[in-house]
């Protein structure tokens, strides 16, 4: 697959930044918004990533890890209720613990969903701010759908994956090429999964998230 670019829109001003630049961009907003005193609460700005995919989140210090687990499942992971875990091997973080018990700027931890076909994420705390915000978790940004083209014709955006052929030269197909692939691939019927904007794409029976669904599909070719 050609090298894909990963960029996301800012929740506050809609500016598009690269994966490398978006953390700092969001920090400038959050620093300006920060207020001490009545009505303001402790929030953490965190980055969740899996290879080139990312989520930028704001999470209340009083939220517990199961709240974050629930959010990650809704946006990126849930296929059939697998188990998940925060923390590194041997130092698991209990899900009833509040994030503020662990989080501080620079803190890093691992998250795993499904101990069989595992999807592994890295969580990093980018900053801490006192804000007048009501939601427990705010989605500040996520990578826009990646420009994955059909690996057979190379012309159309890929819409389907043959999950048994992941890792082979041709696993991502447009609709027409998927139909052709089905003629030669014995497993294609049960192995076919949609291209979605998640690191769990193509794994187990994953067919997409249940929130922020408008950014969860196939990329659209920019009109020239
Ligand atoms: Zn912005
Ligand atoms: Zn599953
Ligand atoms: Zn094609
Ligand atoms: Zn196949």
The pLDDT assigned to 132 comes to 95
For residue range 155-178, what is the model confidence (pLDDT) as tens digits? 999 999 999 999 999 999 999 999
- Please report the domains of the chain, with CATH numbers, ordered by start residue: 7-142 (3.10.290.30), 160-215 (no CATH)
Q: Give the other-Cβ count within 10 Å of 185's Cβ.
A: 16
Three-state secondary structure call for residue 143: strand
pLDDT in tens, 60-109: 999 999 999 999 999 999 999 999 999 987 899 999 999 999 999 999 99
CA distance readout (Å), 26 to 34, 81, 85, 123, 197: 12, 32, 27, 16, 21
139 DSSP 8-state letter? E
Of 200, 224, 182, 66, nearest to 191 by C-alpha is 182
Ligand lying closest to the C-alpha of residue 83: 2
Using the mean position of ligand 2's atoms as its centre, give its distance from the Cα of residue 86 in Å: 18
164-168: Cβ within 8 A, 24+ apart: 164/188, 164/191, 165/191, 166/202
Distance CA 186, CA 98 (A): 48
Centre of ligand 3 to C-alpha 100, Å, is 48
What's the 32 CA to ligand 2 centre distance in angstroms? 42
Could you tell me the two tokens for 102?
Answer: 């662990």
Rg (CA), the chain: 19
Per-residue pLDDT at 82: 98
Span from the CA of 222 to the centroid of ligand 4 (angstroms): 29
Task: Judge whether residue 152 has pLDDT over 80.
Answer: yes
State the Cα–Cα distance between residues 96 and 98, nearest whole angstrom.
Answer: 7
pTM: 0.95
Cα 155 to ligand 3 centroid, rounded to whole Å? 6
Q: Which ligand lies nearest to the CA atom of residue 27 in the structure?
A: 1
What's the rounded Cα separation, in Å, for the pair 92 and 5?
A: 33
Tell me what the pLDDT averaged over the chain comes to: 95
| Ligand number with the minimum distance to the CA of 202 | 2
Q: Where are the beta strands (DSSP E) in 26-185?
A: 41-50, 53-60, 84-88, 91-93, 108-113, 119-131, 137-142, 160-162, 172-173
Residues in the chain: 224
Sign of the Cα torsion 101, 102, 103, 105 reads positive
Task: Kindly list the strands in the beta sheet with 160-162, ordered across the sheet, starting from the edge strand earlier in the chain.
Answer: 172-173, 160-162, 192-194
């Amino acid at each position: 697959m050609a090298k894909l670019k990963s960029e996301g829109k800012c929740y506050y001003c809609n500016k598009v930044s690269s994966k490398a630049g978006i953390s700092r961009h969001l920090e400038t907003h959050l620093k300006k918004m920060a207020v001490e005193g009545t009505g303001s609460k402790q929030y953490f700005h965190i980055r969740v990533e899996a290879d080139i995919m990312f989520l930028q989140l704001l999470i209340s210090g009083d939220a517990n890890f199961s709240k974050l687990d629930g959010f990650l499942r809704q946006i990126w992971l849930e296929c059939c209720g697998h188990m998940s875990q925060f923390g590194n091997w041997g130092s698991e973080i209990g899900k009833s613990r509040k994030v503020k018990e662990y989080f501080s700027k620079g803190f890093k931890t691992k998250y795993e969903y499904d101990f069989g076909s595992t999807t592994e994420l890295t969580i990093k705390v980018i900053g801490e701010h006192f804000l007048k915000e009501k939601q427990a978790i705010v989605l500040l940004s996520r990578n826009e759908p990646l420009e994955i083209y059909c690996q057979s014709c190379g012309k159309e955006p890929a819409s389907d994956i043959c999950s048994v052929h992941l890792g082979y030269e041709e696993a991502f197909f447009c609709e027409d090429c998927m139909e052709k692939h089905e003629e030669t691939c014995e497993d294609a019927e049960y192995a076919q999964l949609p291209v979605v904007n998640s690191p769990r794409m193509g794994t187990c029976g994953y067919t997409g998230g249940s929130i922020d669904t408008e950014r969860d599909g196939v990329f659209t070719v920019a009109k020239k």
